[in-house]
Amino acid sequence: MLGKRVDYSGRSVIIVGPSISLHRCGLPREIAIELFQIFVICGLIRQHLASNIGVAKSKIREKEPIVWEILQEVMQGHPVLLNRALTLHRLGIQAFQPILVEGRAICLHPLVYKGFNADFGGDQMVVHKRINLDSPLWLRWQLDQRAIASREAPVEVHYESLGTYHEIYEHYLIIEKRKFPIIDSNPLSNSTRRNMEVLMAKRANLVFHNKVIDRTAIKRLISRLIDNFGMAYTSHILDQVKTLGFQQATAISISLGIDDLLTIPSKGWLVQDAEQQSLILEKHYHYGNVHAVEKLRQSIEIWYATSEYLRQEVNLNFRMTEPFNPVHIMSFSGARGNVSQVHQLVGMR
């Protein structure tokens, strides 16, 4: 019994697998052959390629081509469990359909790593193989349960929201706001319309929203798709969202530089006005017209009002002067950062 833990589980570093479907994971050959060795031995004997267990193990050690063919057939009907410690909630251990990959790292879909609270900076995960008779049915049920978890808290989409936001926002400015010259009389009839139809699920018979798609909008769309069509169709849409997001994020090549931190023109006199009000308040306190507590309260109100006004001006300044500014795109798409962090960079802390 002590050998079971070693024979039917493995551990390795996780890396991103951008070409893997949402319900799949990539297992290294070394781990897969150990997990499914008993099934491969049975396959070799059943196909009369080995006369006994010893001969079958010899073929496995020699890594003959027929071994990998049988292994791939066996893996199709046997999902595995991936777990990352600490398992603090139910998304910490999930079922996946394994496929063989080269190398020694476990490949993970880029949309599921947030459920494990993991990143691709060297984190390790454990893979388990259940061996009882009802395990394939139970693991397939676990695959379906991801729909319930996703409905309550849809999968995080960071880099994907950056690409989709940029593509749709660009054409939104062209059509709705007339920010750029129109070369084609109907630009949305080309690739972007097809991409938007993918995002909005043309088959889903849902209301088509011609608006900018950020991370919040994508999450809302995912929840609606799961409620109406289940996880299978939603997984297909998510894979296309992932592909579109990665392609656009690569094409636009977002990078952050010091010149991208645009300061609003009115910041100087706003801060100067706040300092002037604070100086007047300090004089009232010096002459005894204001209590210390009241002075502190009014001082906080002065600088809070200035900070909030600057926050609104920062957002408006980005939209009016440079809508494709990297800071603006990353924060307002929901990919990285938020409005408060942008405010600290170009407004005031």
User: Does pTM top 0.75 for this prediction?
Assistant: no
DSSP letters for 37-73: HHHHHHHHHHTTS-SSHHHHHHHHHHT-HHHHHHHHH
Q: Which residues are bridge partners to 96 per DSSP?
A: 80
143 vs 295, residue with greater confidence: 295
Q: ∠ CA 345-348-349 to the nearest 5 degrees? A: 90
Q: 313: closest CA among 277, 274, 348?
A: 348
| Chain centre distance of CA 327 | 19
Quick one: average pLDDT of 261-290?
Answer: 85
Predicted local distance difference test score (pLDDT) of residue 28: 93
Predicted local distance difference test score (pLDDT) of residue 5: 59
Contact 102, 32 (CB under 8 A): no
**In order of start, what are the domains of the chain with their CATH numbers?**
9-129 (2.40.40.20), 154-172+210-254 (no CATH), 258-346 (1.10.132.30)
Asked whether the predicted pLDDT for residue 170 surpasses 70, the reply is no
Contact 37, 44 (CB under 8 A): no
Asked whether the predicted pLDDT for residue 299 surpasses 70, the reply is yes
**Token pair 């031995």 in the structure block, residue:** 41
**Pairwise CA distance, residues 299 & 301, whole Å:** 5
Residue 10: count of CB within 10 angstroms of its CB? 20
11 vs 221, residue with greater confidence: 11
Contact 347, 266 (CB under 8 A): no
Q: Residue 58 is encoded by which pair of tokens? A: 């010899």
Q: Which amino acid is at 71?
A: L
**Pairwise CA distance, residues 167 & 164, whole Å:** 5
Residue 125: count of CB within 10 angstroms of its CB? 21
Mean of pLDDT over the chain: 74
Predicted local distance difference test score (pLDDT) of residue 178: 43
60 vs 177, residue with greater confidence: 60
Convert 52-77 to b/e letters by CB count within 10 Å (16 or more is b).
Answer: eeeebeebbeeeeeebeebbeebbee
Q: How far apart are the first and last CA of the chain?
A: 59
Query: Alpha helices, DSSP H only, in the chain?
Result: 4-7, 29-35, 37-46, 53-62, 65-76, 135-152, 159-172, 191-199, 215-252, 267-286, 292-321, 326-332, 339-346
Q: Which amino acid is at 101?
A: V
Asked whether the predicted pLDDT for residue 181 surpasses 80, the reply is no
Asked whether the predicted pLDDT for residue 264 surpasses 60, the reply is yes
Q: Which of 6-15, 204-213, 228-237 has the highest mean pLDDT?
A: 6-15
